[in-house]
Amino acid sequence: MSVLTDERRERTDGRPLLEISHLQTSFYTDKEVIRAVDDVSFDIHPGETVGIVGESGSGKSVTARSIMGLIESPGRIDGGAVKFRDLDTVRRFAKKYDKRTVDVTDEALAEAKGNDAETDADAFRSLVSKKDFVFVEERNGDEITAGYVDTTRAPDGAMRNVRGGGIAMVFQDPLTSLNPVYTVGNQIKESLRIHRGLSGQAATEKAIDLLEAVGIPDAARRVREYPHQFSGGMRQRAVIAMALACDPELLICDEPTTALDVTIQAQILELLDDIQEERDLGIMFITHDMGVIAEIADRVNVMYAGEIVETAGAVDLFENPRHPYTRGLLQSIPGTQGPDERLRTIEGDVPTPNEKPTYCRFAPRCPEAFDACDRVHPVPVAVNEDAADHAAACLLYPEDRSREDAVTLHDEQGKGETDAKTSGTTTGGATSDGTAADGGDTQ
Amino acid sequence: MSRWQYFLRRLLLSIPVVIFGTTITFMIIRLGPLDPAAAILGPGQASGPRAEELRRQLGLTQPLWEQYFDFMLDMVTFNLGNSWVISSGTPAYELILIYAPRTIWLGFWSVLIALFVGIPLGFYAGLNPNTFSDYTASFGGIVWRAMPNFWLAIILVSVLSQSEQLIGWDWKTWLITTPVVTPPRLGFMTEPLALITNPSESWPQLLGAIKQIAPAAIVLGSSSMGNEMRIGRTAVLETINSNYVETAKAKGVSNRTLVWKHVFRNALIPLVPIITGEAFLLIGGSVLVETVFAINGIGYLFFQAAIQGDLPLVGSLMFIFILILVGTNILQDFLYTVIDPRVGYDES
């Protein structure tokens, strides 16, 4: 196992497996534009489980679907990048889509800089044309040694290859996520055929292996059965087997245990844990259940109204929640109160994020809100100088600064970021809005 | 219980249904107000020695239970008896053989039109929801659905009969000369081999029969077509937004496979009872259309037999209708069994 781990680590070279930077997904309805995912950034490393928690409507599932390229009209990804750094995928795509592959190696950037570009970001923009989606960052001779595929820019054909092959997804409701008119085996084999070209007896055997791997007894018989002959927990196991069929690097679980009862839930979590250890999968785990997150996640991102409001290691987050929203969530878990105390709740509902934030979206429900919360939009900052790994988007932080200083910091950083975005110079550079492409398009 | 055991059970259960239906038929025609003697002898002669004699000859004076057993035995052995009134002395079987093919021909084409126009249109609209083509198809479907059979039939007959004066294009002589009304000639049905051995004569006949039945079939199929379109659209929309379609997408399934494998089969499930239900409708609904187009079909024959008190003919036709209905039900169960593996699934 450790050999495999090292190999995988080497393949991403210490870089995250998935890097989401400034992702922005909106839904354009007749009435309003809903910014379901509003400037979200986080990383997932190989073998790491990243939890996303938040209430319903906070944008968790839309984030997952944006990564998978499953956003459909009237939804649209407006900006940001989702960088998938699986080297195999990058190499394969660089070969297949060589016209849409671009070198953004240090040398290439330096050369562009030498020409006319002033900053790194300008240089990046001058290299990348509108259609590019495979980015090569390092080459060793002819071999690509580092790079990424931006799934927000990838064409549908390439995305189909990534879906299931590189990134797999397990959905919330196992009772409805299998097609009722085909056998479980048929649906697992479909994956195997698409991504590995397996068919016939070989595919059936592989499907049986997969079902056994997820703990379904008598798999050889079960593979020929229909979903309605499986129990809820079994179906979720089958869905997981289907997701694992093509050995993905990243597994996105969208509330995979919400529809299951507690004992089955524990079994599924254990199964995911085992699978992760075995295959060194990166897992993105979406849930609104703090208990589940505590059990499975290495790192937790708390989402509220389309934004990540707090991010920290799981232990740190549960011991020292900093954002008032996270505290509210933790206090509303039954069993954390005294015997005569009523269960605490967060008053109100998640607002619909339908405009550019110039204030804190949680302020109306926040017990600690003060004047500035209504006019300054908080940006994620480290909660104090010692905790580089624990950030909160709240005007109360950094806690080692005075409140005025903190507010000024948020104000400036927020403005700086807006400026940077409007002029198209995000650090990642790979914004998918038209401006980024101008440099590369001129002949 | 496996799905095939389930199907077998449905098949066996249809036997009591046929017996029950035939019994009810017997009760209605024998205990109802129909008096065959009066019908044969003419108005005002329902009593008197001649009527009594006739009743005795027809076997109407025997005990009712005896008549019932005779009737049932005759029906299940397909001994359909002779017509009394409509065409006195002619075996009912022969009459049905003359009239039924016209109705079958009409029904066949109207079901076909509904199937092959309605369902594809509905599926197309469902796959492209809220686009201009969806609105066009949906609106057309509603309009088509809303036009009453008899009205559409009359308009069509009227327009086609004088198409030359109205639009300068003569329907009657187009492709092959046919009249607008009157039954199509279906001689080729008795000798299907002639289509191969004697193509020069039989093919024009087939073409003529199709052309002649087309307006009636369009009218009869129109409401079913609108129905199937609307329900097909809803079924596709429902399926395409279901979780398993999203799961399949997340697996990397191509759009074509998604539509043909995952959407199509599931969307067909709610359509099965609609399609077979329309087959029922074609038996009853055809009488009106047959009358307008002067296609003397089985509906016309039944109507005539019923108002004239031709008991053996009414009984035989009812029996055949029952068989057709039960048959379509079995077909529906069969389609269900093939399409949906959940059929016959017992939780216990």
> Is residue A427's pLDDT more than 50?
no
Is B251–A179 a contact, with Cβ atoms under 8 angstroms apart? no
> Is residue A404's pLDDT more than 80?
yes
* Any A CB within 8 A of B14 CB: no
Average pLDDT over residues B326-338: 87
Calculate how close chain A gets to B143, using CA atoms only, in Å: 28
Residue among A125, A90, A116 at smallest CA distance from A428: A125
> For A164-182, how does the pLDDT look when each residue is reduced to its tens digit (9 = 90+)?
888 999 988 888 899 999 9
d(CA A369, CA A394): 10
> For A281-337, how does the pLDDT look when each residue is reduced to its tens digit (9 = 90+)?
999 999 988 888 988 999 999 999 999 999 999 999 999 899 999 998 888 888 777
Specify whether the CB–CB gap between A51 and A299 falls below 8 A: yes
Q: What is the pLDDT of residue A422?
A: 45
> For A75-111, how does the pLDDT look when each residue is reduced to its tens digit (9 = 90+)?
999 888 999 998 888 988 988 888 888 888 888 888 8
CB-closest option in B245, B250, B269 to A163: B250
Q: What is the pLDDT of residue A436?
A: 37
Q: What is the pLDDT of residue A435?
A: 37
When scoring A71, A178, A179, A239 by the number of chain B Cβ atoms within 10 A, the one with the most, hence best to mutate, is A179
When scoring B247, B254, B337 by the number of chain A Cβ atoms within 10 A, the one with the most, hence best to mutate, is B247
Q: Work out the percent of chain A whose per-residue pLDDT is above 70.
A: 90
Q: What is the pLDDT of residue A428?
A: 39
Angle at B103 between CA B279 and CA B96, to 5 degrees: 115
Q: What is the pLDDT of residue B285?
A: 61
Least confident residue range of A212-221, A229-238, B72-81: B72-81
Calculate how close chain A gets to B228, using CA atoms only, in Å: 22
Q: What is the pLDDT of residue B135?
A: 92
For residue B266, which residues of chain A lie inside 8 Å, CB to CB?
A: 179-181
DSSP A53: E
Is A168–B251 a contact, with Cβ atoms under 8 angstroms apart? yes
> Is residue A63's pLDDT more than 90?
yes
DSSP B83: -
Supply the ipTM of this predicted assembly: 0.81
Q: What is the pLDDT of residue B282?
A: 66
Cis amide leading into A16 (omega within 30): no
For residue B244, which residues of chain A lie inside 8 Å, CB to CB?
A: 176-180
Q: What is the pLDDT of residue A174?
A: 83
Calculate how close chain B gets to A381, using CA atoms only, in Å: 34
For residue B249, which residues of chain A lie inside 8 Å, CB to CB?
A: 70, 163
Q: What is the pLDDT of residue A64?
A: 92
* Any B CB within 8 A of A235 CB: no
First to last CA, chain B: 10
Banded model confidence at residue A117, pLDDT cuts 50, 70, 90: low
Q: Work out the percent of chain B whose per-residue pLDDT is above 70.
A: 95
- Position with higher pLDDT, A423 vs A185: A185
Contacts of B246 (CB under 8 A, 6+ apart): A70, A171, A177
Average pLDDT over residues A357-377: 88
> For B198-239, how does the pLDDT look when each residue is reduced to its tens digit (9 = 90+)?
777 777 888 888 888 888 888 888 878 888 898 999 999 999
What angle, rounded to 10 degrees, do the helices at B199-240 and B149-161 form? Answer: 140
Is A226–B262 a contact, with Cβ atoms under 8 angstroms apart? no
Specify whether the CB–CB gap between A68 and A314 falls below 8 A: no
Burial of A25 from C-beta contacts in 10 A (0-12 / 13-18 / 19+): buried
Is B266–A195 a contact, with Cβ atoms under 8 angstroms apart? no
> Is residue A258's pLDDT more than 90?
no
Chain A residue with minimum CA distance to B261:
A182
How many residues make up chain B in this entry? 348
User: What tokens were used for B218?
Assistant: 């369009």
Specify whether the CB–CB gap between B307 and B264 falls below 8 A: no
> Is residue A136's pLDDT more than 60?
yes
The domains located in chain B, with CATH, are 92-307 (1.10.3720.10)
